[in-house]
Structure 1
Amino acid sequence: MEHFVTMKDKTETEILQLVRRAHHISQKGVNPLQEQYFAANLFFEPSTRTKMSFVVAERKLGIEPLDFMTDVSSVTKGESIYDTAKTFESIGANFIVLRHQQENIANQLAESLSIPVINAGDGTGEHPTQSLLDLVTIYQEFKQFSGLKVVIAGDIKHSRVARSNAIALSTLGCEVYLTGKDEWHDESLPYHYVSMDEAIEIADVLMLLRIQHERHQDQFNLYQESYLEKYGLTVEREANMKKHAIILHPAPVNRGVEIDTKLVECERSRIFKQMKNGVVARMAVIETLLNQGGNFNEENFNKRQANIG
């Protein structure tokens, strides 16, 4: 694996290897890498969970994050994203972590740079590391993917999380369903739409989404429209979920909009566990990419860690 920019080109085996490696790290930990590495975290959009979990993941691996802030960078002088990334490559960054509002920009950089590129979210395109941490959370719960019914609920049309997860979950053998306002359907995704009440009945995993206000042309008052009652997870709906079903959300959570605030930390919720898994998932990706650009081999990694220890 040379880059991690999309779930579209990942096989079932590749995804499972990353999931299992991340789970292994969560259980056993990992020793820092012996070689010196530098990470260029290029975040052109606001981020809390993704950016900070990458920083923690990098430091746990003994990697030095290179500081970057758009408002004090040469971007303000008109420098292109390519030239910015090329600059970090030239001064010694070993990989790029990129979040940007332009869809497909991570793919374009991956084709142009000689160092690995990790997509940390590209517009309405994809968010593959968020998908991976979601998969790790599901794996820890069910120990399998095949046959699980997963419903992704909310602003499907504008969600890069929805896209990456739908692709990855399908690859792993899950039955994927979508639900949301009619205007937010994405017909390019070949999955069946259900109502929120139907979703509650069938879901083993209910994956809620934040409404992407920054990507909407028309703004609306969510509370006046009673979004929660029509399309969100209310206390009444949660009571009708399957006994073993879990709730996921990539966050930030709009309490009282897509989910009743009482349910954010309820017994079914794995929202903060997802955040915790964000560190190990990103450690697994980084570790894999730094394996001399080769394919991940869990046995070799375990041997290397045993030698280091």
Structure 2
Amino acid sequence: MSIAGVDSSKHFLGLKGMSATEISSILDRAAYWEQYPVKVTNQLQGRFVANLFFENSTRTRFSFELAQKRLGAEVLNFSSAESSVQKGESIYDTVRTLESMGIDAGVIRLKPIGILEELAAKIKVPLINAGDGNNEHPTQALLDLYTMRKHFGEIKGLTVAIVGDILHSRVARSNLWALQAMGAKVKFCAPANMQASELSGHADYVSFQEALQADVVMMLRVQLERHEQGMIKSAEEYRKEYGLTVERAAQMAPHAIIMHPAPVNRNVELDDELVEHEKSKIFTQIGHGVPIRMAVIERTLA
């Protein structure tokens, strides 16, 4: 047990290996919180939760912070850009320091791969993964699944095409594990130099034309800095080859939906007119982030 009296097995690091029953229970609890009539509860009154963002993401941090405050928790926000980590303090020392001060849980986002697992082995207060290198982004995938279930009624039997930079995408990985656990079929579509070979045994890589036949077409955000590394020729070239244009969207099935983890590079991975198109669930997904994260935080601190 930790100094805060929390079982260290409560870490929420990823969805790989998580059962359909457990995923469903989180989605069900999110549905409860989404319709909850009172905006702020005292569910976690007296609990202290730290948002430890060693990689910037205003959108994800705000979503977690709203979830924490709606549950009545006391929130501490940490940004590495403003901290002594920039001066040489290790990530471990920073997290260990906050643990020593008495936080009850930490929501953590990291760029380096493999660090989160090492931290979880040493830190006793529960850690919630808010983005871990290119490994997992579990709450993003859960809000994606929640959006699909709410729209289609159930996830089992759906075909979901994930299009873009699979190689560097933690969103693609978390969605792959969760969707397959829930009985959906996943297909990948990516340029040859953005395919993750270790995932090829888990989902087929298909042409964009085939991807457009899916029930859900999920476009991944293009990291435009990859252009500097030569992975993409230009934003215009990427749009031409792998962007969801208005013309391509017209080939989707009438019932199919468009998803994106956001923020969107408009007119790169998605034409501007499609961001708020009737098929698009992008802002709906964002809205579902708060109840999903309420369910995850509550589960972690229960």
Question: Quick check: 1:177–1:193 contact (8 Å CA) kept in 2?
Answer: yes
Q: TM-score, normalised by structure 1?
A: 0.89
Distance 2:82 2:185 in 1: 46
Matched, 1:164 2:174: yes
Question: Quick check: 1:196–1:232 contact (8 Å CA) kept in 2?
Answer: no
Letter in 2 for 1:73: S
- How far has the Cα of 1:34 moved from its partner? 5.4
Distance 1:200 1:160, change over 3 A: same
Please list the CA deviations of residues 131-169 of structure 1 after superposition, one character each: whole Å capped at 9, or x if unmatched: 111111111111211110000000100111001101110
Letter in 1 for 2:35: Q
Identify the match of residue 13 of structure 2 among 5, 12, 15.
5
Task: Give the structure 1 partner of residue 272 of structure 2.
Answer: 261
Question: Quick check: 1:37–1:94 contact (8 Å CA) kept in 2?
Answer: yes
Letter in 2 for 1:278: G
Please list the CA deviations of residues 41-67 of structure 1 after superposition, one character each: whole Å capped at 9, or x if unmatched: 111112121110001001101111112
Distance 1:49 1:58 in 2: 14
Instruction: Report matched runs for 1:220-239 at 5 Å.
Output: 220-225=232-237, 227-239=238-250
SS in 2 for 1:55: helix
Unaligned runs of 5+ in 1: 292-309
Task: Give the structure 2 partner of residue 20 of structure 1.
Answer: 28
Identify the match of residue 146 of structure 1 among 152, 156, 165.
156
Identify the match of residue 212 of structure 2 among 200, 208, 221.
200
- How far has the Cα of 1:113 moved from its partner? 1.2
SS in 2 for 1:188: helix
Task: Give the structure 2 partner of residue 299 of structure 1.
Answer: none
Distance 1:32 1:250 in 2: 30
SS in 2 for 1:41: strand
- How far has the Cα of 1:77 moved from its partner? 2.8
- How far has the Cα of 1:214 moved from its partner? 4.7
Identify the match of residue 139 of structure 2 among 129, 135, 141.
129
Distance 2:225 2:48 in 1: 32
SS in 2 for 1:236: helix
Greater shift, 29-38 or 18-27, is seen at 29-38
SS in 1 for 2:183: coil
- How far has the Cα of 1:218 moved from its partner? 2.7
The alignment-based identity, stated in percent, is 50
How many aligned residue pairs are there? 289
Question: Quick check: 1:97–1:120 contact (8 Å CA) kept in 2?
Answer: yes
Question: Quick check: 1:45–1:99 contact (8 Å CA) kept in 2?
Answer: yes
Matched, 1:278 2:286: no
Question: Quick check: 1:101–1:123 contact (8 Å CA) kept in 2?
Answer: yes
Question: Quick check: 2:258–2:282 contact (8 Å CA) kept in 1?
Answer: yes
Distance 1:183 1:283 in 2: 37
Distance 2:128 2:97 in 1: 17
Unaligned runs of 5+ in 2: 1-8
- How far has the Cα of 1:221 moved from its partner? 4.4
Please list the CA deviations of residues 217-238 of structure 1 after superposition, one character each: whole Å capped at 9, or x if unmatched: 336443442x222211111111
Task: Give the structure 1 partner of residue 195 of structure 2.
Answer: 185
Question: Quick check: 1:106–1:122 contact (8 Å CA) kept in 2?
Answer: yes
Instruction: Report matched runs for 1:101-116 at 5 Å.
Output: 101-116=111-126
- How far has the Cα of 1:83 moved from its partner? 1.0
Distance 2:30 2:243 in 1: 31
Distance 1:98 1:255 in 2: 28
User: Aligned-residue CA RMSD in angstroms?
Assistant: 1.6
Distance 1:3 1:34, change over 3 A: closer
Distance 1:52 1:152 in 2: 25
